[in-house]
Amino acid sequence: MNKNDIVTVEITDIGVSGEGIGHVDGYTLFIKDAVIGDVVEAKVMKAKKNYGYARLMKVITPSEYRVEPKCAFARRCGGCQIQEMSYDRQLVFKDQKIRGNLERIGGFTKEQIEAVMQPVVGMEHPFSYRNKAQFPFGTDKEGNPITGFYAGRTHDIIANTDCALGVDQNREILEIILQYMRENKIKSYDEKTGKGLIRHALIRYGFKTKEIMVCLVVNGKKLPKAERLIEKLVQIEGMTSITISPNTRRDNVIMGDSYEILWGQGYITDYIGNVKYQISPLSFYQVNPVQTEKLYGLALEYADLKGDETVWDLYCGIGTISLFLAQKAKQVYGVEIVPQAIDDAKENAKINAIDNAEFFVGKAEEVLPEYYAEYEREHNGETAHADVIVVDPPRKGCDETLLETIVKMQPEKVVYVSCDSATLARDLKYLCANGYEITVCRGVDQFPQSVHVESIVLLSKLKSNKLKHINVELEMDELDLMAAESKATYEEVKDYVSKAKRIES
> Which residues, including other chains, have CB under 8 Å from residue 366's CB and lie 6 or more apart?
none
State the angle between helix axes of 169-183 and 226-233 in degrees (0 to 180), rounded to the nearest 10.
150
Per DSSP, helices labelled H in 71-193 are 87-104, 110-116, 169-183
DSSP string, 162-223: --TTS-THHHHHHHHHHHHHHHTTPPBP-TTT---SEEEEEEEE-TTT--EEEEEEESSS--
Residue in 77, 419, 432, 441 annotated catalytic: 419
Distance (Å) of CA 305 to CA 311, 328, 389, 438:
9, 6, 12, 18
DSSP string, 54-73: EEEEEEEE--TTB---SSTT
SS3 label, residue 273: coil
244 has which bridge partners? Answer: 216, 260
| Alpha-carbon span 421 to 100, nearest angstrom | 9
| Alpha-carbon span 194 to 201, nearest angstrom | 17
Distance (Å) of CA 28 to CA 6, 187, 482:
14, 46, 68
Length of the chain: 505
Q: How many Cβ atoms from other residues are within 10 Å of residue 376's Cβ? A: 14
User: Residue 21: what residue type?
Assistant: I
Whether 80 sits among the annotated catalytic residues: the reply is no
Asked if 299 and 456 touch (Cβ cutoff 8 Å), the reply is yes
Asked if 442 and 455 touch (Cβ cutoff 8 Å), the reply is yes
Asked if 44 and 18 touch (Cβ cutoff 8 Å), the reply is no
CA angle 317, 319, 321 (to 5 degrees): 100
Asked if 78 and 163 touch (Cβ cutoff 8 Å), the reply is no
Where in the sequence numbering do the catalytic residues fall? Answer: 419
